[in-house]
Amino acid sequence: MSKQSHCDAAARSIQSIQANDALVPLYSPKQVYGIEKAWFDAGNDSYALMQQAAWQIAHWIYRTYSKAGDKLKIGVWVGRGNNGGDGWLVADYLTQLGAQVAVIEVGPEVSTADALLAKQQATATLNNNKQVIEQTFIGHLANQTSFAKVCEQSEYLSADVYVDALFGIGLDRAPQSAYADAIRYINAAKQHNHRLQVVSVDVPSGVVSSTGEVFDEQAVRADITLCLVARKVGLHLKDAMDYTGKLVDLPLIPTVLGKLPQAWLQHHAQPLPARDHNTHKGSFGHVLIAGGNQVDGSQGMGGAAILSASTAFATGVGKLTVACHKAFHGSLIGAVPNAMSLDLHDASSVESLIAQCDTLAIGMGFGRDESSFTLFERYLRTALQQSIPLIIDADGLYHLASLAKQAPEIIDQLIAHAKTHEVWYTPHSGEAGRLLDISADEIEKDRLAAITQLANKYNGSWLLKGAGSLVLHKGEIRVCAAGNAGMATAGMGDVLSGLAAGLLAQSVLPKSSRTLIQAVMIHAMAGDVLERKKGVWALQASDMPPVVGQIMQQLTQAQ
């Protein structure tokens, strides 16, 4: 790809972010129930809110999908709770708007008072309408036999739009029997009928709205999710991102205003200030990267340090030294000739430089053997004595987990250090699991809880990498809305550490630009530029450094 085309793509990415630059507040389902309760406690009626939700949904669907001439054919899949109640009323209002509607009721009888009222209201309308429109249909699925029967009977199962109102924020376990059948049917129908649009009410049924988890891939794959009251945090985490389709907010009530969300969705990095002319390399900080080791008998990891170094330079850092295994000094100078080099195992030289640098980024390809552990502990203690801002990544996090058990006083020092200096940690779920002494699966079950526990235990700023990367700084959680699946490839973490170190070392930058979230957003935006140019399959970490530089430049012009 030419440099110019990278630049154009970066410019387009900045333009698109300027059009949508607000942080989006994200709430837990528990908070949403609380917001609704506050609304009802203020004297508002819960059924009226359900009617209001359903009317807005029905109107949105009719406005979006109705076509001149033909009647819009809708299949509404309803469950037993209030999400199902929304569905019943949507069926009612769409019928009144002129659509031909089938309701497929799944599972046992409705379970809430509002859903029962909604079912009664809708049944009356649908039955009245049946006299006029022959095909109006209400089916009930309680088990697999009745499911097959309903599928045979109803021509409405070949609809223009399916409304998914099986489960909303009340889902708390894997859908089974008729529910699982219905979800499978909805997803399969989309494969046979490419025109079919699936609109999920509030949450795609099967997605856990607090964590983004989907049990055994049993969730509706929506084209559109219409989010009621407030955006649920789980819609932006983990599996959910493959199920929600496009998100549309229907806020419904003002009670959400002023409520502190659980997290914020961030789409892009902050603009950067222009550089002053009267500056020199000393003005832009000195980064020390400690990593790129070769452990006896194993493959070398020099590339990790090289990727970090070239990305740190792409952020504009003034000086950079890499302390890596001396086997890699030749390739380092070949790839990044502006870097200085030190032998990672020459501990006294490395320690003298730690005392002089502005930021130490440690751990990328550092090695996990006993001698690497000893070096890591030594360099960490020196950085703490010298009060140096720190980024700990990869093998550094591995050793940190061991230190937490073997030398807990060093964790106390890190906690104290983070009160006055930047200390950034950048684990994926495996590394995070070791740090909390739990499995990676447990981390993945509730990523928001995990990042909060990490910060509680170690202090400092945290990134938890993954789909919907999370950043926690001073108690506030951001969810990164940029980035793509192509970034799940070797070396991307090393690129990020170098990027973060480059920003952190430049004290000329405003505080808001020397943050972990800024590094994560620039990294993700660069990944998105590359994905548009190369596709997800071919995206490589080694393509990233020049694009990081172009994003930095565009952010400067966006100021």
Give the interface with ligand NPW as residue ranges (CB under 6 A). 36, 46, 49-50, 53, 79-84, 86, 112, 114, 167-175, 179, 201-203, 228
Q: How far apart are CA 413 and CA 410, in angstroms?
A: 5
Count residues binding K ion (CB under 5 A): 4
Count Cβ atoms below 10 Å from residue 113 Cβ, excluding itself. 12
Within 348-367, the residues that bind K ion by CB under 5 A are none
Query: Token digits for 92?
Result: 């009612």
Q: Which is nearer to ligand NPW, 114 or 422 (CB)?
A: 114
Residue ranges for the known binding site for AMP are 465-469, 493
Q: Judged by CB under 5 A, which of 159, 201, 227, 272 binds K ion? A: 201
Closest CB to ligand NPW among residues 41, 409: 41
**CA-closest candidate to residue 256, choices 25, 94, 66:** 25
CA-atom Rg of the chain in angstroms: 27
In whole angstroms, how close is the CB of 175 to K ion at the nearest point? 11
Binding residues for K(+): 83, 164, 205
CB 436 within 8 A of CB 443: yes
Q: Which of 491, 494, 496, 519 is nearest to 506 (CA)?
A: 519
Label the pairing between strands 197-201 and 161-165: parallel
Contacted entry of K ion, ligand NPW, none for residue 164, CB cut-off 5 to 8 Å set by kind: K ion
- Of 164 and 528, the one with the shorter C-beta distance to K ion is 164
Q: What are phi and psi of 441, to 5 degrees?
A: -60, -40
Shortest Å, Cβ 50 to ligand NPW: 4
Q: Which of 123, 193, 112, 128 is nearest to 157 (CA)?
A: 193
User: Rounded distance, CA 387 to CA 381, Å?
Assistant: 10
Q: Between β-strands 73-78 and 224-228, what pairing exists: parallel, antiparallel or unpaired?
A: unpaired
Q: Per CB under 5 A, which region of 92-100, 156-164, 316-324, 530-538 contacts K ion? A: 156-164
Q: Choose between 255 and 294: whose C-beta lies nearer to ligand NPW.
A: 255
Residue 228 site contact among ligand NPW, K ion, none (CB < 5 to 8 Å, cut-off depends on kind)? ligand NPW
Rule CB under 5 A: is residue 183 a binding residue for K ion?
no
Q: Which does 171 bind (CB under 5 to 8 A by kind): K ion, ligand NPW, none?
A: ligand NPW
From K ion, ligand NPW, none, which one binds at residue 483 (CB under 5 to 8 Å depending on kind)?
none
Q: Name which position in 164, 393, 494, 528 contacts K ion (CB under 5 A).
A: 164
CB of 549 to ligand NPW, least distance (A): 44
Token duo for residue 90 = 């949507």
Q: What span, in angstroms and rounded, lies between the C-alpha atoms of 498 and 360? A: 10
CB-side exposure of 94: number of CA atoms within 13 Å? 33
Phi, psi of 155 (to 5 degrees): -70, -10
Partner from ligand NPW, K ion, none contacting 200, C-beta within 5 to 8 A by type:
K ion
Distance in Å, CB of 82 to ligand NPW, minimum: 3
Distance from C-alpha of 129 to C-alpha of 141, rounded to nearest angstrom = 22
Identify which of 76, 106, 108, 81 has the alpha carbon closest to the alpha carbon of residue 92.
76
Question: DSSP of 304-346, one letter per residue?
Answer: HHHHHHHHHHHTT-SEEEEEE-GGGHHHHHHH-TT-EEEETT-
**Which one of residues 51, 200, 294, 459 is an interface residue with K ion (CB under 5 A)?**
200
Residue 130 identity (one-letter amino acid): K
> Buried b vs exposed e over 220-258: b needs ≥16 C-beta within 10 Å?
bbbebbbbbbbbbbbbbbbbbebbbbebeebebbebbee
CB of 224 to ligand NPW, least distance (A): 14
CB 84 to K ion: min, Å: 9
The residues, any chain, with a CB within 8 Å of residue 440's CB and separated by 6 or more, are 429, 430, 432, 433
Residues 241-300 interacting with K ion (rule: CB under 5 A): none
Shortest distance, position 444 Cβ to K ion, whole Å = 23
When CB distances are held under 5 to 8 angstroms depending on the partner's kind, the choice from ligand NPW, K ion, none that residue 114 binds is ligand NPW
Q: Which one of the spans 30-38, 197-205, 319-327, 339-347 is the region binding K ion (CB under 5 A)?
A: 197-205
Closest to ligand NPW by CB, 32 or 482:
32
Note the helical H segments in 133-237: 144-153, 177-192
Nearer Cβ to ligand NPW, position 86 or 92? 86
Which amino acids are annotated as binding site, given as ranges?
82-86, 164, 168-174, 179, 202, 205, 304, 365, 428, 465-469, 493-494
Which of K ion, ligand NPW, none has residue 424 at its interface (CB below 5 to 8 Å by kind)? none
Query: To the nearest whole angstrom, how small is the minimum distance from the Cβ of residue 207 to K ion?
Result: 8
What's the closest the beta carbon of residue 222 comes to K ion, in angstroms? 8
Closest CB 108 distance from ligand NPW, rounded Å: 9
* Cβ pair 169, 86 in contact under 8 A: no
When the beta carbons of 203 and 332 are compared against ligand NPW, the nearer one is: 203
Residue 160 site contact among K ion, ligand NPW, none (CB < 5 to 8 Å, cut-off depends on kind): none
Q: Which residues are 341's β-sheet partners? A: 322
Residue closer to ligand NPW by CB (options 36, 92) is: 36
| Residue 205 partner contact from K ion, ligand NPW, none using kind-dependent CB cut-offs of 5 to 8 Å | K ion
Taking the complex as a whole, the smallest distance from the CB of residue 78 to K ion amounts, in Å, to 9
List the structure tokens of 178.
Answer: 């008729």
Tokens matching residue 290 = 């400690």
90 or 288, CB closer to ligand NPW? 90
The residue among 364, 324, 322 whose CA lies nearest residue 490 is: 364
- Which residue, judged by CB position, is nearest to K ion in the bound state? 205
* One residue of 31, 95, 136, 205 binding K ion per CB under 5 A: 205
Q: Which residues make up each annotated binding site for (6S)-NADPHX?
A: 82-86, 168-174, 179, 202, 304, 365, 428, 494
Select from ligand NPW, K ion, none the partner in contact with residue 169, using the beta carbon and a kind-dependent cut-off of 5 to 8 Å.
Answer: ligand NPW
Q: Count CB atoms within 10 A of the CB of residue 146.
A: 15
Query: Which residues lie near K ion (CB under 5 A)?
Result: 164, 200-201, 205
